Structure 1
Amino acid sequence: VIDKLRRGELMLMEYLWRKKTVLSKKEIIEEMSKRYKWRKSTTEILLKRLVKMRILKKKRLGFHFSYEVLATKKEYLNIKKEEMYISEYNKFFIRIFTTIHKRNETIEE
């Protein structure tokens, strides 16, 4: 299950989705430093979160780490779309029940 991505996580994933290859940790850190002026620790924290969410897979190759994308952008957007649909569906029922509740209060008065 893919959770909602925060802004930094999404920025990092946009880069990884565009590359479509397995990238080394060093390459990712260098690119994020150039693009967004992020420190090494910022990128490492975001990578760790994305691995924990199972969006990225961390691989060890000798002394270096690399990251592979497990969830495509299309999969992520489909999940976001479903969440939005469910959210709208829930709002609809909340409005109906609050309207019914208000009507019942006025009838009792």
Structure 2
Amino acid sequence: MTIKKLPQSELKIMKFIWKSDSKVTSRDIVLGMEQKYQWKQTTTLTLLSRLVVKRFLNSQKIDKYTHYEVLIKEKEYIGVETRDFFRNIHDSSIKSLLLSLHENINLSKDDILLIEEWIKNLKEEEKDV
């Protein structure tokens, strides 16, 4: 199955559901979106139905609420977005990505250490191959 890029509004709902880490009811989602973004119930329910059609969520009506279950995990979606960003924005160039990070993001010492550790691990993996 091909995972498609989500509009920001649908992504906000998915992030809310991913954070809940379990089945979540329409009521919980409507309240969460109302509190965080001042969305109306109809807006949230419309977006939820789109996410079901796109196969990001499965829905099941239990009593008076619809329960939603995640079909596309957050890690899977982040992978799709990351590959798309890397390919389309940076033309699959690590150099472009790293220069952009350096020029546009204030990397902390911890961030730099994390990058160094990542590079070290890549080098070690290369030796093992």
Q: What TM-score bracket applies, with the shorter chain setting the length?
A: 0.7 to 0.9
What is the alpha-carbon distance in structure 2 between the residues aligned to residue 85 and residue 36 of structure 1? 29
Q: Which secondary structure does the structure 2 equivalent of 1:74 belong to?
A: helix
Task: Using the TM superposition, name which of 7-16 and 62-71 deviates more.
Answer: 62-71
- The answer to whether structure 1 residue 41 and structure 2 residue 66 are counterparts is no
Match of 1:25 in 2: 26
Shift of 1:67: 0.4
What is the alpha-carbon distance in structure 2 between the residues aligned to residue 47 and residue 62 of structure 1? 18
Q: Which secondary structure does the structure 2 equivalent of 1:71 belong to?
A: coil
Aligned length: 89
The alignment yields a C-alpha RMSD, in angstroms, of 1.4
Which amino acid letter does the alignment assign opposite residue 63 of structure 2?
G
TM-score (norm 1): 0.74
Within-5 A mapping of 1:67-106:
67-87=68-88, 88=91
> Residue deviations 1:61-97, cap 9 Å, x none?
13321101111111001112233344325xxxxxxxx
Shift of 1:43: 0.1
Runs of 4+ in 1 over 6 A off after TM superposition: none
TM-score (norm 2): 0.63
Q: Percent identity?
A: 30
Match of 1:10 in 2: 11
Higher relative contact order (CA 8 A, sep 6+): 1
> Residue deviations 1:20-47, cap 9 Å, x none?
1101111111111111100001101110
**Which structure has the greater CA radius of gyration?**
1
Which amino acid letter does the alignment assign opposite residue 41 of structure 1?
T
Within-5 A mapping of 1:52-71:
52-71=53-72
Unpaired runs of 5+ in structure 1?
90-109
Q: Which secondary structure does the structure 2 equivalent of 1:30 belong to?
A: helix
